[in-house]
Every structure is written in structure tokens, then in C-alpha cells.
A = this chain, B = another copy of it.
Amino acid sequence: MADERKETVGVGLIGLGVIGTGVVKVLSRNADVIEQRLGFGLRLVRVADLDIETDRGVDLDGIHFDRDASALIADPSVDIVIELIGGYDVAKGFILEAVAKGKHVVTANKALLALYGKEIFALAAEANVDVAFEAAVGGGIPILRSLREGLAANHISSVHGILNGTTNYVLTEMERTEEDFEVVLKRAQELGYAEVDPTFDVDGIDAAHKLALLTAMAFGAELTYKEIPTEGIRGLAPIDFEMAREFGYRIKLLGIAKCRRDRGGNERIEVRVHPTMIPAGSMLASVDAAMNAIEVRGDAVGPTLYYGAGAGEMPTASAVVADLMEIAREIRRGGAGPVAPLSYMPDHLIAKPLVPLGELRGRSYLRFTAADRPGVLAHLAGALGDQGVGIESVVQPRGVEPGACVPVIVLTHPADEEALRRALEEVDRLADVMAPTLVIRIEEDL
């Protein structure tokens, strides 16, 4: 692979969609600064995409451009393969094909890595090549490098991330305009902030993919995407934002991962994605629109936070090209980089037990949808009290139109999730309760 005499390192790009086009732009427009930092150049020698017709507004003169990804991977002038087609099987196939040919790989494919990372990284280590993926989490934010190297001397205790720009945009807009979820989502789709099928984003799946990678890197825990309890933002209504403001909170879809040591020194991982109320004055609460931010706490460094655009053509391309530059340096040195891709050496990346959701403890915001008749509050309070869930405050919002249904808002004292779950099962069976209760967890310590 290494050829010390070459003036440039050769790059092949599979997938000329939005991000791929951004990569072409960055490599061309910023060739000067890339070379000034590296001491040599990166050269895009080949691009493969099924669509070779559409004009992407980038100049591909002198670059071999066809549909043949396998030929790109086999091309001896390609030292690093960029995979930007997304999805599972085909992308995985190309990545493993590149690895088998001794090519380094850069990808932004969080879904693939969250599910198949273990296998992919093992094969890459065997082949002595890098699989780099800074762009997979937080777009252009160098969060993975920071976890892997900048904070490497720390026992990480927690990660709290706004990991999905689409949902943060929708939440910010719902708060600002006091409109319903569906109205705001539709506008986000028209503006290109949300996909036609928004499921991956609004149901928290994309955030969970990213959280799986962060959790592994923070705690040396095996990738556990499938086990991450995940709730999206579909259930939220304008009144929840109004109440949050009154209580001094903002609502964010957070990916949360914490490491807890029991008395025997054994580590257990607490991990989940859900809408969360966080103090309005916290750094994370200031993160608006489609921006992302990740707060990471370490035992030495304390709280740190990383903020930036979590998606989009150019920010994501910024991260892809940063990975290319790092790998290109390693190619000059004749091998793969010395830093473990998931931050811990493979034999220290071990399965760590998850804390069952029921054991979590915290305060919650509850919105009951109750019949507007006397005695309802007593029934609700009774059901909560039966399970030991203490009530901190109850609010019956003003300005609600009189009718059969009214919202009743309860802030609980700290309670076990299991007790809360049992209480809500009981509540939702009450004749007075007209719809499932909405729960938003409160994270106080941010």
C-alpha cells in the first residue's frame, strides 16, 4: 500500500449523493489547505455511483467515473475507499471487499457500524487497514477523535447527546411556533430538514445508532444498538413545551449513556434515547435548530461539550476528509493508524451488562389526558401513590378549552422507572383517563 515516492495519496469514492458531492467539493476547493497541513496532496482518482447521468454541479474532469464500485476498489491507484451509499448489505459488501484488498476505508454509515461494526473492525484489524467513521456521529463535529484521543486519559462517566438534527429542528420549531408535531414535520420535510419517510429520525432510531457507537467508545462496551431503549418525539404536543418553559426546562431528544460501577467495581451501562427535559440554562439546552451537541463527562476532565452541524453536505464532508487526511498520513508511514477504532483495544471492548430500564431512577414530567370531571385528580394521585411515585407538583393548564378531555400535568419526585411504569399502567386503565399518558424524563444534572 505505502509508496513513499508518490506525490499524492489516491482516493476512490463510492456513492455520489449529497455527502459524496460535498466530499468532491472539499477535496477540490480546499486542496490548498489540505496539502499545507499534510505536506502532500489527496487526489480523487475514481468515483462510482449507479447514477452517472445527473449533474451534481461538480467538476469530475480527469476523474474516472462509472458504475463499477468493485473495479474502483480493485484499482491500484485507489489507496483509500470512501463508502457513502448508506444502507446495510451492499455497503457492507463494498467495505469488506476493500478491506480484503488491503484498502483503508472511510464511511459515514452509522447504521451499518452500529449493527456490524464488530465484524468489520475485526476484519480491518486483521488486514492492517483503517476503517474511519468520524462523519458517522455528529456530522462535522470531531467528537469521535475527542473521545478516542483527547479524553483518552479519563474514565468516562456519561454521554448526553443531541444526535439528530431533524428532531432538534422539529423540537425547536414546535417550541417557537406552538404548532403541532405533524404541522412542523411537514414544513421540515418541505424545507429538506426531514426525509419523506421520517421514521429513522423522529422515532429516535438514527440517534440510537449513533449512541451505540458513542457508548462503545466511551466505556469500552461492545456495540449494543439493538438493546437501546428508544422513544421518539411523535407524542409531544405544544402544551409540553409551554409547561417545560414554566418549569424552567427545554425539551430535547437526548441519547444518554452512563457508566455505573457497583460496589464490587463491576461496570454496568445505562443507555437510552428519549425526549428529555433539561435545565433551560444548560449548554445543551442552548442547542437549537438542526445543530447537534454532545456532552461528555470524564473523571479527570469534568464536563466537556462539542457542538456543530450534525448533518448536511459540507459539514459531513469535512469529517470524511479529516479521516482521509489521517489515513493518508498513515499510508505514508506504511500501515494502519495506531489508535483503536472504538477507542479501546479490541480485547478490552467487552460486553458490559446494561442497567435494566426499570432500575433507572429520576424525576418525570407526566401529561395525563383526563376526563373533565371531579375526582379525576384524586384517582391519578392515588394510582401514583400506590406505587410509591411521589408528586412534586400538579398543574391544570389555563386556557384549555372546556370539553370532555383536559390535560393534567404532574412532575414527580425521583422514582424508579419500574414503579412509574406500573403506576402508569394502572392510570391508563382508569375510566377517567382518555389516552395513554405521555412521559418525559427530566435530567437535572446538566
Interface assignment of A377: CB less than 8 Å from any CB of chain B: no
Q: Are B155 and A151 in contact (CB under 8 A)?
A: no
Residue contact A146 to B142, C-beta cutoff 8 Å:
yes
Q: Are A30 and B300 in contact (CB under 8 A)?
A: yes
Q: How far is the CB of A279 from chain B (nearest CB, A)?
A: 11
Compute how far the CA of A247 lies from the CA of B282 in the bound complex, rounded to whole angstroms: 22
Determine how close the nearest CB of chain B comes to the CB of A143; give it in whole angstroms: 8
By the criterion CB–CB under 8 Å, are B302 and A305 in contact? no
Q: Does A339 contact B (CB under 8 A)?
A: yes
A134 at the interface (CB under 8 A from B): yes
> Could you tell me the distance between the alpha carbons of A265 and B319 in the complex, rounded to whole angstroms?
26
Q: CB-CB < 8 A to A204: which residues of B? A: none
CB contact under 8 A between A283 and B300, given known A150-B145, A329-B339, A345-B37: no
B140 lies within 8 A of A345 (CB): no
A303-318: which have CB < 8 Å to B? Answer: 303-309, 314-315, 317-318
Bound CA–CA A42/B200 (angstroms): 43
Q: Measured between C-beta atoms, what is the minimum distance from A419 to chain B in Å?
A: 34
Partner of A150, one of B142, B151, B298, B317: B142
Interface centre among A29, A34, A153, by most B CB within 10 Å? Answer: A153
- B322 and A329 within 8 A (CB): no
- Given known A-B contacts A300-B140, A308-B304, A153 and B345 have beta carbons under 8 A apart: no
Q: Give Cα distance in the complex from A333 to B336, angstroms.
A: 11
Let me know if A374 is at the binding interface, CB within 8 A. Answer: no
* Shortest Cβ gap from A241 to chain B (Å): 17
Partner of A340, one of B37, B330, B343: B37
Q: A281 → chain B, closest Cβ, in Å?
A: 7
Instruction: Tell me the complex Cα distance, A305–B314, Å.
Output: 17
Residues from chain B with Cβ under 8 Å of A112 in the complex: none
**Pair B145/A149 contact, Cβ less than 8 Å:** yes
Q: Does A301 contact B (CB under 8 A)?
A: yes
A408 within 8 Å of B (CB atoms): no
Interface presence of A10 (CB below 8 A): no
Which residue in B37, B155, B315 is a CB contact (below 8 Å) of A152?
A: B37
Q: Would A314 and B286 be within 8 Å (CB), given that A150-B145, A333-B333 are in contact? A: no
Q: Give the complex CA separation of A299 and B26 in angstroms.
A: 9
Name the B residues within 8 Å of A36 (CB-CB).
220, 344-345, 348
Chain A interface (Cβ within 8 Å of chain B)?
A: 22, 25-26, 29-30, 33-34, 36-39, 134, 139-142, 145-146, 148-155, 220, 281-283, 286-287, 293, 298-309, 314-315, 317-319, 321-322, 324-326, 329-330, 332-333, 338-340, 343-345, 348
